[in-house]
């Protein structure tokens, strides 16, 4: 309907223009007439829109990818790039355009759409997206409808829709039933139950049109998944245009294979692969692929979504009238700005267009495995008979037709060596900021909605078989002690181990930087058992310092532990024992040295022969600190007496405090006894008073008068005694606090 209206308007405008031109011609005379009828020059053909293909892809570990489109343009050129709606926010936030021939970008346009909520507000129906059934009929209230299928046909205006719960003959309530209430043309109100066989038709043509517009808006909102971004590039001659941006992508994954040769030589070949998924909706044809093991900060802003702010609604004044007025301006305070402003740097979101600095690139120190053929790994994007980049199209995706040097060399059906999946120069590395990058030197093709395994590493690295045992696991594990002597940082991922010609296990590794040595466990070692015994510790007082009422003891502790490892296998084992380190200034005793030290662990190498047992004694020496606050609220006499036994030089300083605390403890004991006597006297006095009251007027009451007098005298005496003791205690506490505050003592065992 919109297109018909637009065409009609265009025709009407053309007819009006023709009429005005004819009138002008009749008034201007023959000369003007001949000028008007002269043929016009043909208009320039519409400018061709050129697609700009992807040439570079950099994938990060935080789920974003950097994409660079590149191509040649000539003169004034329009260039188009297609995105999905989900990509557009990232594109608008990071889009960078560079014309290398001096051209300029005059504009960037893309097809936008008003949010469906805003479009639906323009309709009189008042329906929202995904309306309920009852909402549909409520939108038709007051409209003329025809209801058929519920008995006799009903024609009239829809009054309302309501639901009821019906009750069967057993008194059970059924599900909701919807009923339409229609005011017929005769003026009667009729009710029709809304069932699957009932049909409701809108009679008003304008209402039908509104409902059709509603459905059209809903349908168009579902078809806005592709956005066409068009760049207007203006310039002269042929030149290179580069466009870059970031977009959300699946996280690329790392996986490794570690293969030991048939004859042990202290090393293993490590082969690394990256699993890459292309889900951005466009083919990656011969792109330069880089994989970055880093997570730069990234976020999404809804830049592509038209935003509407909520404005306050001001009622129209209908009574009081106001006159224009002015208001005094606020006083501005000018402040001087000293120093310079700096902008904090952020992690790189896109790489330079000119590529990597060649001085930063380092070729992988991984040569081909000479003398070995290639086998297996078929189905990963073609036959496994070549190196990276060989084959038609350099494809990596399944069915892409390219060749990937993959597979494992088999001798007698057993895995003993890897293939030449990577040759020297196939992958270069670059370290920037806190990230590291695998850059494939050969172009890669991965079609949209396809995935591929991309080889990123093949290197012979020093690797030692060990049995790892830790108190936290308490179970022996087969492990590799792997040293990364390559120039690559090994990204985190999974790995598989092949030893003795067979699969031996798999595990996970954290990032391993060049020069690092890391333990990789991959299986349980059922032949090794480790037993702990000989837990012992000796403490010797080393230093005492007293000041400001605080006693600080430093004790030198020697802790020992004995490990006993047994090996029931037919081969010798090297057991790597993990011993928990003490925090602080602790050291290993008796000249013992750990083979490896981590922030929280010592690792000791313990060779254990086949069917034998070996032991290791680990002794550590270090300080322990004890802090005691002297105060008058608790009896610390026992602790102080023990301290002077261990540090006799402290006796002269601590004896007044010990005596004062002893005296205070005695006062507290006497106060407790006096309080108990006071409670007893109070109970006797109360009992005698009750008896005297009960025997009032009786001769026997005289005896209780004497007892009551004695009880009151005793109560008064005990109260006075308690008060005296409390006064003595107050004086003793003050004296003790003065003594504690006045102590200053520093003693070291080495000074004796």
Query: Alpha-carbon distance 367 to 422, whole Å?
Result: 8
Taking only the tens place, the pLDDT of each residue in 474-513 is: 889 999 999 998 888 888 889 999 987 789 999 998 888 8
All residues at 6 or more sequence positions from 70 whose CB lies less than 8 Å from its CB, including other chains: 52, 53, 55, 56, 240, 241, 242, 243
CATH code at 565? 2.60.40
201 and 138 together in one domain: yes
The percent of residues in the chain predicted with pLDDT above 90, rounded, is 26
Of 88-102, 213-227, 541-555, highest mean pLDDT: 541-555
Q: 622 and 487, same structural domain?
A: no
Whether residue 146 has pLDDT greater than 70: yes
Cβ neighbours of 507 (radius 10 Å):
18
Domain extent at residue 72 = 49-113+224-248
**49 vs 393, more confident:** 49
Q: Domain boundary at 572, 601, 629, which?
A: 629
| Dihedral sign for Cα atoms in the order 397, 398, 399, 403 | positive
Q: When comparing pLDDT for 178 and 112, which is higher? A: 178
Comparison of pLDDT for 116 and 728, the residue scoring more: 728
| Domain presence at residue 511 | yes
Of 474, 509, 524, which residue sits at a domain end?
524
Q: Would strands 64-74 and 104-110 be described as parallel, antiparallel, or unpaired?
A: unpaired
Residue 443 in domain: no
Q: H or E segment at 89?
A: helix 85-94
- Determine the pLDDT at residue 119: 63
Task: Let me know if residue 423 belongs to a domain.
Answer: yes
User: What's the number of CA atoms in the CB half-sphere (13 Å) around residue 650?
Assistant: 28
Q: What is the rounded CA–CA span in Å between residue 61 and residue 296?
A: 8
Together in a domain, 189 and 261? no
pLDDT at site 120: 65
Least confident of 325-339, 374-388, 563-577, 693-707: 374-388
Which range is least confidently modeled, 149-158, 425-434, 598-607?
Answer: 425-434
Distance separating alpha carbons of residues 184 and 689, to the nearest angstrom: 99
Q: What is the CATH number of the domain that holds 141?
A: 2.30.30.520
Residue 91: CB atoms within 10 A of its CB come to: 22
Residues 364, 511, single domain; the answer is yes
| Overall pTM > 0.85 | no
Residue (of 265, 357, 349, 334) closest to 300 by Cα position: 349
> Does 607 lie in the same domain as 572?
yes
Instruction: Say yes or no to pLDDT of 425 above 90.
Output: no
Helix (H, G, I), strand (E, B), or coil: what is residue 360? Answer: helix
236 Cβ contact partners less than 8 Å away, ≥ 6 residues apart: 75, 103
Question: Per the domain annotation, does 493 fall within a domain?
Answer: yes
N-term to C-term CA, the chain: 107
622 and 677 within one domain:
no
Q: Which residue has the tokens 């402040």?
A: 335
Stretch 422-441: mean pLDDT, rounded?
Answer: 68
Q: Is 126 strand, coil or helix?
A: coil
Tell the residue number behind the tokens 């000041």, with chain if given. 547
Distance CA 302, CA 289 (A): 28
Domain count, the chain: 5
Going from the C-alpha of 188 to that of each of 158, 181, 341, 435, 669, the distances in angstroms are 12, 10, 80, 79, 101
Query: In the predicted model, is pLDDT for residue 109 greater than 50?
Result: yes
The answer as to whether 121 is a domain residue is no
- If you average pLDDT over every residue of the chain, what do you get? 74
Which percentage of the chain shows pLDDT scores above 70?
A: 70
User: Beta partners for 242?
Assistant: 70, 98
Q: Are 374 and 495 contained in the same domain?
A: yes
Strand-strand pairing, 493-499 and 253-259: parallel
Task: Say if residue 652 is in the same domain as residue 604.
Answer: no
pLDDT digits (tens, 9 = 90+) for 31-68: 333 333 444 444 444 455 678 889 999 998 888 899 99
C-alpha 465/C-alpha 261 separation (Å) is: 13
What pLDDT was estimated at residue 2? 35
What's the gap between Cα 705 and its chain centre? 86
Q: What is the pLDDT of residue 463?
A: 93
Residues 592 and 740 in one domain: no
Structural domain includes residue 305: no
Q: How far apart are CA 588 and CA 622, in angstroms?
A: 9
C-alpha distances in Å from residue 398, one per residue of 253, 402, 411 = 17, 9, 28
pLDDT at 404 (0 to 100): 33
Is 623 within a domain? yes
Q: What is the mean pLDDT of residues 428-434?
A: 59
Considering the domain architecture, whether residues 192 and 85 belong to the same structural domain is answered as no
| The three-state (H, E, C) secondary structure of 703-723, written as one string | HHHHHHHHHHHHHHHHHHHHH
- Does one domain contain both 471 and 402? yes
> Which strands make up the sheet holding 154-167, listed edge to edge?
189-193, 173-184, 154-167, 144-148, 199-202
Report the pLDDT averaged over residues 693-719. Answer: 77
pLDDT digits (tens, 9 = 90+) for 604-654: 999 999 999 999 999 999 999 999 999 888 888 999 999 989 898 899 889
Burial class of residue 682 in the structure, from the number of CB atoms within 10 Å of its CB (0-12 exposed, 13-18 middle, 19+ buried): middle
pLDDT band at 535 (very low <50, low <70, confident <90, very high): confident
Q: How confident is the model over 243-258, as pLDDT tens digits?
A: 999 888 889 999 999 9
Q: Considering 509, 524, 539, which residue would you say is the last residue of a domain? A: 524
Three-class HEC string of 440-506: ECCCEEECCCEEEEEEEEEEEEEEEEEEEEECCCCCCEEEEEEECCCCCCECCEEEEEEECCEEEEE
> Does pLDDT of 366 surpass 70?
no
φ/ψ region of 98 (left if φ > 0, alpha if ψ in -120 to 50, else beta) reads: beta
Residues whose CB is less than 8 angstroms from the CB of residue 675 and which lie 6 or more positions away in sequence, other chains included: 722
Residues 599 and 544 in one domain: yes
Domain assignment present for residue 35? The answer is no
Name which of 16-25, 104-113, 413-422, 482-491 the model is least confident about.
16-25
């Amino acid at each position: 309907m919109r297109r018909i209206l637009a065409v009609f308007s265009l025709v009407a405008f053309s007819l009006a223009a023709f009429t005005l031109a004819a009138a002008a011609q009749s008034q201007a005379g023959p000369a003007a007439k001949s000028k008007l009828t002269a043929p016009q020059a043909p208009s320039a053909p519409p400018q061709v829109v050129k697609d700009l293909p992807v040439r570079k892809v950099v994938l990060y570990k935080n789920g974003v990818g950097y994409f660079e489109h590149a191509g040649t343009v000539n003169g004034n050129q329009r260039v188009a790039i297609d995105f999905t709606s989900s990509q557009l926010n990232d594109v608008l936030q990071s889009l960078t355009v560079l014309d290398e021939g001096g051209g300029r970008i005059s504009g960037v346009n893309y097809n936008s759409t008003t949010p469906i909520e805003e479009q639906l507000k323009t309709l009189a129906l008042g329906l929202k997206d995904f309306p309920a059934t009852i909402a549909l009929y409520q939108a038709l209230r007051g409209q003329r409808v025809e209801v058929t299928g519920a008995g006799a046909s009903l024609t009239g205006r829809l009054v309302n829709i309501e639901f009821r719960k019906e009750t069967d003959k057993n008194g059970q309530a059924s599900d909701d039933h919807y009923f339409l209430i229609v005011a017929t043309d005769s003026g009667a109100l009729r009710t029709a139950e809304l069932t699957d066989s009932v049909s409701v038709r809108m009679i008003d043509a304008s209402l039908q049109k509104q409902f059709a517009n509603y459905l059209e808006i809903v349908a168009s909102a579902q078809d806005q998944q592709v956005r066409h971004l068009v760049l207007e590039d203006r310039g002269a001659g042929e030149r290179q245009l580069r466009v870059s941006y970031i977009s959300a992508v699946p996280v690329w994954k790392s996986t490794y294979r570690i293969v030991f040769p048939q004859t042990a030589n202290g090393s293993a070949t490590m082969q690394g692969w990256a699993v890459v998924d292309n889900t951005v909706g466009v083919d990656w044809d011969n792109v330069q692929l880089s994989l970055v093991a880093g997570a730069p900060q990234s976020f999404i802003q809804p830049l592509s979504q038209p935003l509407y702010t909520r404005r306050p609604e001001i009622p129209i004044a209908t009574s009081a009238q106001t006159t224009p007025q002015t208001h005094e301006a606020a006083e501005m305070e000018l402040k001087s700005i000293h120093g310079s402003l700096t902008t904090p740097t952020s992690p790189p979101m896109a790489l330079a267009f000119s590529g990597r600095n060649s001085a930063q690139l380092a070729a992988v120190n991984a040569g081909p495995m000479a003398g070995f053929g290639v086998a297996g790994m078929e189905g990963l994007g073609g036959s496994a008979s070549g190196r990276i980049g060989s084959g038609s199209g350099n494809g990596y995706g399944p069915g892409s037709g390219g060749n990937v040097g993959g597979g494992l060399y088999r001798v007698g059906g057993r895995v003993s060596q890897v293939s030449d999946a990577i040759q020297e120069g196939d992958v270069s590395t670059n370290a920037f900021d806190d990230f590291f990058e695998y850059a494939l030197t050969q172009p890669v093709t991965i079609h949209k909605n396809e995935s591929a395994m991309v080889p990123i590493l093949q290197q012979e690295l020093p690797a030692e078989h060990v049995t790892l045992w830790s108190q936290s696991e308490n179970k022996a594990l087969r492990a590799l002690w792997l040293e990364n002597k390559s120039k690559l940082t090994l990204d985190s991922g999974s790995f598989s181990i092949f030893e003795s010609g067979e699969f031996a296990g798999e595990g996970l590794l954290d990032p391993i930087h060049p020069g690092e040595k890391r333990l990789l466990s991959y299986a349980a070692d059922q032949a090794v058992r480790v037993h702990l015994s000989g837990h012992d510790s000796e403490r010797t007082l080393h230093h005492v310092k007293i000041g400001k009422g605080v006693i600080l003891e430093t004790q030198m502790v020697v802790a020992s532990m004995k490990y006993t490892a047994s090996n029931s296998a037919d081969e010798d084992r090297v057991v790597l024992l993990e011993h928990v380190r003490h925090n602080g200034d602790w050291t290993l005793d008796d000249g013992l040295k750990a083979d490896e030290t981590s922030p929280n662990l010592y690792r000791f190498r313990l060779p254990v022969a086949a069917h034998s047992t070996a032991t290791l004694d680990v002794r550590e020496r270090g300080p322990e600190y004890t802090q005691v606050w002297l105060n008058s609220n608790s009896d610390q006499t026992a602790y102080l007496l023990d301290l002077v036994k261990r540090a006799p030089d402290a006796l002269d300083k601590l004896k007044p405090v010990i005596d004062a605390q002893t005296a205070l403890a005695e006062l507290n004991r006497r106060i407790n006894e006096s309080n108990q006597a006071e409670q007893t006297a109070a109970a006797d006095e109360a009992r005698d008073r009750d008896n005297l009251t009960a025997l009032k007027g009786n001769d026997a009451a005289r005896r209780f008068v004497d007892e009551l007098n004695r009880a009151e005298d005793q109560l008064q005496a005990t109260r006075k005694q308690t008060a005296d003791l409390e006064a003595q205690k107050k004086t003793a506490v003050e004296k003790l606090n003065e003594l504690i505050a006045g102590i200053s003592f520093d003693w070291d065992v080495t000074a004796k």
